[in-house]
Structure 1
């Protein structure tokens, strides 16, 4: 029986998120807020690095690190003090689009920012191969954005609307019993012992 190794040092004691991938990768950290909450607060949605762009510098990234983010004219790139770590997964079209608020500002309209690392992905050998988190643009001022409340799953409600037909004048509100009985399927009659 193969035993899954414990959290790597890069996880800084944070728990595993989700399951072990088929290739042996595991993710550790905190799951963070919903993308719409980040956008409502003026910061772009959480992002990972585009896997094919990740460099060897990702091995030194830890949960809780802050990586510099810079727009190069086509993509946003994350860098550590050691060098470029990888490209964020956002499409460059997000920069031009206004996100979430019609006619309002776009949280993707920035050149420089900070990626707050909330999770790391390690391979089967325990090496860090990716990271993710949320980005705060350098010119981010929370007071410029309306605060969106964090959804609380405990406050969700289920509303059920039941409508009854309104009887026409002179009709009874209680339907009369029908003298017709529908035939029960054979398997149901046998189950109920009425065969």
Structure 2
């Protein structure tokens, strides 16, 4: 039986539970990461450690967030302002994907559709993940 968690009145599948008690909830990408890289729509696996803004707590599954490259980093923003820096690394730009051999390309601008949330034991959103599309 699949474990579920009620968040904001909606029942979501729990994808995993971390050692600290955080739950990853939501939906997996509809395509494997290597296919998303091949389409130049790389997946987002969350924010870089320590870069999150308290506004992250307001992010919900289905939100569409703006991604913009700023120097060697990619920043994500919502309607209320900046949320943090993505885990994408400039060192990975142009590298070949380990499974598919596709060249990884992170766009300068994109839109992130949030598919998964990390919920802490207090019930607050502390991170998010999802799929990108060209802006």
Q: Distance in 1 between matches of 2:4 and 2:122?
A: 9
- Residues 99, 44 of structure 1: alpha-carbon distance in 2 compared, 3 angstrom cutoff: farther
- In 1, are the aligned partners of 2:5 and 2:14 still within 8 Å (CA)? no
Unaligned runs of 5+ in 2: none
TM-score, normalised to structure 2's length? 0.83
Q: 2:127 corresponds to which residue?
A: 130
- In 2, are the aligned partners of 1:39 and 1:99 still within 8 Å (CA)? no
Q: Distance in 2 between matches of 1:37 and 1:48?
A: 19
Q: Please give the secondary structure, in 1, of the residue aligned with 2:37.
A: helix
Q: 1:116 corresponds to which residue?
A: 113
Q: Distance in 1 between matches of 2:15 and 2:27?
A: 7
Q: 2:36 corresponds to which residue?
A: 38
User: Higher relative contact order by CA 8 Å / sep ≥ 6: 1 or 2?
Assistant: 2
Unaligned runs of 5+ in 1: 139-195
Q: Is 2:16 the partner of 1:13?
A: no
Structure 2 matches for 1:155-166, cutoff 5 A? none
Instruction: Using the TM superposition, give the Cα deviation of residue 99 of structure 1 relative to its aligned residue in structure 2, in angstroms.
Output: 4.1
Higher helix share: 1
- In 2, are the aligned partners of 1:99 and 1:107 still within 8 Å (CA)? no
Q: 2:105 corresponds to which residue?
A: 107
- In 1, are the aligned partners of 2:37 and 2:103 still within 8 Å (CA)? no
Higher strand share: 2
Name which one, 1 or 2, has greater alpha-carbon Rg: 1
RMSD of aligned alpha carbons:
2.4
- Residues 5, 76 of structure 1: alpha-carbon distance in 2 compared, 3 angstrom cutoff: same
TM-score, normalised to structure 1's length? 0.60
Q: 2:77 corresponds to which residue?
A: 79
- Residues 122, 113 of structure 1: alpha-carbon distance in 2 compared, 3 angstrom cutoff: same
